[in-house]
Structure 1
Amino acid sequence: MQKVIQRTIMAEKQAARRLAKRRSIFKLQQEKTNREQYNMSRSIEIQDVKAATLARREDWEMGPLAPKRDVGLKKDTWGAIDSQRLRGRVWSLEKRKEILKPWGGETWLNLAKGDRVVMLEGREKGMIAEVKSIDLERCQVTLDGANMVDVRIPAYMIQGNDEDKRLFRPMEQPVDISTVRLVYPLQKQGEEVKDVIVKNIKGKPTREELINYRMTGKAEHRRYVAGTKIELPWPRKEDEDFKDHPEDTLRIDVELPTFIPTLLRPPFPSSVIDELRNKFSAFRTRHNPEYIAAKMQEDKEKEAKKIQIKQMRTPLNEINRQERRLKKKMGKKQVLTPEMLQKLGAIMAQKKALHEKVTAVQQGREPVAA
């Protein structure tokens, strides 16, 4: 039975190693793809900046003789940017934690769709807009009607039934989440209600909210202005309008109980359970009593076989046994014979003569012959 347990543990470790290896390979591939996309968008942006700089210099040098640039192939898309420039950089998990830390982190983010924020940077600095979407991987937010840019649309992407046939479309360019601050209407004593920029927001989930998050997966908590007890309510979510379709399953069919559990018998025969769970799988940890008894009997037979092998008398065992008996008779103390003492004396005299010779050479006198 011990081998069965060891086999299960080894199989689980091997599966964990394979899964970790696959995850690391997938992570490296994902990082490579994100890096290539970012480099492509940056190269397109640099090319646009260089072209604009060159055109501006030519316009300044040539003056009235400067050529028109909104003609030819770029007539309909002059001044529009490539859609790749709208894609920001996908940050690593560590970098995302650092960027989103002032907002409460990725799980308990104190910013939601529908919040009003103010822009702190860019050509529309000071503009207040509503959050349209949040991209946590790139740590960016898209604001409704803010930071608008014209984006080139390829001709093949324009459908035949589309009324807008322009080769460019105005779109909101996402901005970094660190360049916006939450705006909320507050009223002080004796003053009118006015918009206030909230620099620091604190929102720590309670124990009940954590339990609810573990049960449902929905991260819902309360947020406050840092250092105060002023609660910042979340924006209201519009109720989704669900429409019934002919192919939808009726609610009565879903809520009608079709199985009543009981402690008297399992839901289906044990043979079916064995077929579904794979009775001989290496990952199985729960076995039937008959299977456990059979494995225990196999272990007992193996142990009895080992004892029987040890009790067998073989020629090699007999030789080893005789050698042990002889060593036991000789005892631990060994007596030196005259021949052994004579050999030891000759070796000691030789080493002493060599030592005297070395000492004489070091003192600068002739060595005495031994």
Structure 2
Amino acid sequence: MPPISSAPVRAAPSAKAIAKKKAIQKMQATLRWHERDRKQRKQRKTEQYEYKRYRLELVKQQHNKVRNIARNALRDVREDWKLGPLRPNRVSGLQEGMYGVVTERSLSLTALPKHLSQRINEDREKQGLPPQHLVVNDKIYLPYVVGDRVVVIAGREKGKIGAIQAVDKDALMFTVQGVNTQYLDSKLLAGGDPTDKTNRAPHEIQFGINDIRLVIPYRITTASGRYIYQDVVVDNVILERHTTGVDPFTGIDYGNDEFPAEHRFDPETNLPVFKRYIAGTKRAIPWPWEKDEEKLKEKEDAVVAQEKPGFLTRVRRLPNDLRERIAARRNAAARAEEKRLEREAEELSLVDSDIAESQQLSGTRTDRPDNILTYDDDTGRNKSDPTDETLRNFSPTLAYPPFPAGLPTELLQEVREKRREAAQDALDEDTPRVSRAERRKIRENERKKREMETMKTPLQLRWEVMRAKQAAEKKEVDREQLLLALGKHMQGNGIELTPKRSQAARNAEKQLDVE
């Protein structure tokens, strides 16, 4: 027999105690559920409030930037039209130099709530589209950064390309350098000129993330085997965590293998590092700072190569050096030839000017005919301007230019009369003249006729077609045959014809027999 334990025996719980314990557990679970539900409802209420506030701010911005401005402009135009000369000067006083200037109220932007930005990505994933941005630990990561070249795909600046100058992550807005420039109140800018009376300064207005696309140089192989680079627009850019390649901490290149997970953060900011790719491919798009590092490295390599060129390098460069020297000599010879031709042209122009001056001083004209008769009453240049010693021998005539100064005015009236007579002779005298009232009446009748044509019913059109068809099928009756038939009919009925009609009937019968 087993030894009997000396420990006190605990009595089994009664049914009442068990029921009480279950009730307590149920109440505790209910309290936990209500607490969890209360937190969820509070979060939903907060998100709904933020979303409603965001929508109201967008509507308010739309009113301030577009509708209110347009309404006020129309109101001012109506008031100016009613007042006429008494209209006020709206660009004077405090508003002087502020016409068409963007104010601080119109420039303010509304930050996008974090949960709404996450919801936008979820909606895009449901539609089968890649996310526009990433939200990690309540931080927004965008595929476009300062220094990227982008193209505008909407609005009045559509098609323009520029570099991103500033990024607003909270509102998902980008400022593109030199694009969408508007006048801004210089008081709002940090570097504004306080002495500027106009208070206007050009400033770039931001674009939304849906209004721009990334532009990158893409290498294309031509038919001849050469490589050329062309700008292409990337419609979708995918962001992925940087897990392969160069380790940010150690600088070791792992290739396609993944480096340690604890090294997948930026050593300076301790933020996750992302790589961007063209959607649907594994082609990586370098960030602007990576391009700068590559250029700096290439420049350093080029400097090192120039400082220490080896024998093989000099041998490889020899053909290129020879080509460059030959091209330089050819360019120098071409420039020398151009300078020589310019000097010859200048010398020829100087010779021509000397010849013209000598002819002018001698008073001779090479283009003047020898058979021109001169008279003593002709008013010459020597009489109108006797102080000009070099032109005293020049005598203007009506036979060759230059003509006297008053000749066009004297002949103007006569030329007009000749033209009027020629136009009158060209008119046909047999052409009937129609008065203005008759022409107006003819045009009115034509207009009514066109209106009647358009107002006809399908049945009327059908009747017109049938009448035209019957008229086309109707045969014309010969007058002689008709008279002959009438004569025979009259003779058959006992009506005697006159001798003249009888002779005409016999002649018609003979003609028919001949035919």
TM-score (norm 2): 0.37
Higher relative contact order (CA 8 A, sep 6+): 1
